[in-house]
Amino acid sequence: MKRKAQSAMEYLMTYGWAIIILVVVVGALYVMGVFKTGTTVACSNPCFGSQFTYNDHNQDTLVLTNGPRRIQIQSIEGIPQSGSPQSLSSDVNDVEAGGKIRITITPITSRPLTVNITYLDVDSQLSHWEAGVLRK
């Protein structure tokens, strides 16, 4: 009888520890977001929609990378939280896929600053716009 009790305890201990480890691993994966099924697209900070990727900015320059399609920039506008909108300029107007865009920002503009970029998709000939907010 003592032998059967010892065998049952070993069985429970072995599988008990295995189940505890399995629960901890699944919990850690859940916390890391492995099981999230949302369709949201992660973007850089600040987010400029699907066409542009944010690289860097300082007091007077914003650098973006163009997405997978060739575009022609029609206008760039900076809208400060307080004050009137102002026209911004870029170093290029016709941007190849993956090309860099340097946008000149007037240094006296207050933050946060919403940057609206209106562009023409060269392949489809449709006009689009993207916006991002510079906070500092």
Tens-place pLDDT, residues 66-123? 988 899 999 999 888 877 888 888 888 899 989 999 998 876 667 788 889 999 999 9
pLDDT of residue 54: 87
37 pLDDT band, cuts 50/70/90, is low
Residue 56 C-beta-side C-alpha neighbours within 13 Å: 1
Single-letter amino acid code for the residue at 113? L
Output 70 or 42, whichever has higher pLDDT. 70
The per-type count for the chain, helices as H runs and strands as E runs, is 1, 9
With bands split at pLDDT 50, 70 and 90, how would you rate the model's confidence at 45?
Answer: low
pTM: predicted TM-score of the whole model, two decimal places: 0.62
Confidence of residue 127 (pLDDT cuts 50, 70, 90): very high
Domain extent listing, the chain: 1-40, 52-134
Residues of the chain with pLDDT > 70, as a percent, come to 88
Q: How confident is the model at residue 55 (pLDDT cuts 50, 70, 90)?
A: confident
- Of 124, 119, 83, 126, the closest CA to residue 103 belongs to 119
Specify the pLDDT at position 87.
83
Fold of 52-134: Immunoglobulin-like (2.60.40)
Which pair of tokens denotes residue 59?
């007091």
Nearest to 76 by CA among 62, 97, 65: 62
